[in-house]
């Protein structure tokens, strides 16, 4: 029962943390540790700061994410190896946020004019927008938020019977 309560509480906590990570509002202090590259333009600085914000927020909450992954193995031992899908989904979401931050920054800094055709330019802009939605998905029915909800529902279905005993 204690393990089920702890894991469920951590998943709930993670939902709030991920919402914060994806918040487009940032503070100057959150990016103050980023090393500014020599010759960075103001636009490059803004883009790199915005991407860094994701990594900074993930890093500041790494203890929670690490704790969940450590408990994954105890959970598997006590509840069965077929119960770790919510843990895997959560890890996948965090990995996706990291990749999207890197891609978004790289694509946003690239000059879309280097695309030789209107189609390739459109593809470039669509890639930026795709990563933008992952990082700061605020629209209704946001796919990443829906996946997170599904992971939480999955862990609730496993934990709740053990907690409610």
Q: What is the CA radius of gyration of the chain?
A: 19
Per-residue pLDDT at 110: 74
Helix, strand, or coil (residue 24): coil
Per-residue pLDDT at 118: 75
pLDDT 10s digit of each residue in the chain, 165 long? 899 999 999 999 999 999 999 987 777 777 778 888 888 888 888 888 888 888 889 999 999 999 999 999 999 999 999 999 999 999 999 999 999 998 888 877 776 556 667 777 788 788 888 888 888 876 778 899 999 999 999 999 999 998 887
Per-residue pLDDT at 113: 54
3-state secondary structure 56-113: HHHHHCHHHHHHHHHHHHHHHHHHCHHHCHHHHHHHHHHHHHHHHHHHHHHHHHCCHH
Per-residue pLDDT at 73: 94
Give the whole-angstrom CA distance, residue 54 versus residue 67. 20
CB atoms under 10 Å from CB of 14, counted, come to 22
| Domain ranges, ordered by start, for the chain | 2-98+143-163
């Amino acid at each position: 029962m204690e393990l089920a309560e702890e894991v469920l509480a951590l998943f709930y906590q993670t939902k709030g943390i991920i919402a914060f990570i994806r918040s487009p509002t940032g503070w100057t202090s959150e990016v103050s540790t980023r090393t500014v590259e020599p010759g960075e333009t103001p636009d490059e600085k803004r883009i790199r700061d915005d991407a860094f914000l994701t990594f900074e927020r993930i890093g500041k909450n790494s203890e929670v994410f690490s704790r969940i992954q450590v408990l994954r193995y105890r959970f598997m031992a006590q509840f069965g190896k077929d119960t770790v899908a919510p843990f895997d989904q959560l890890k996948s979401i965090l990995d996706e946020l990291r990749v999207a931050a890197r891609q978004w920054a790289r694509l946003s800094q690239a000059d879309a004019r280097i695309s030789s055709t209107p189609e390739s330019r459109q593809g470039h802009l669509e890639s930026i927008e795709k990563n933008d939605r992952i990082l700061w998905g605020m629209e209704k029915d946001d796919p990443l938020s829906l996946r997170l909800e599904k992971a939480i529902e999955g862990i609730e279905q496993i934990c709740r019977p053990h907690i409610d005993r």
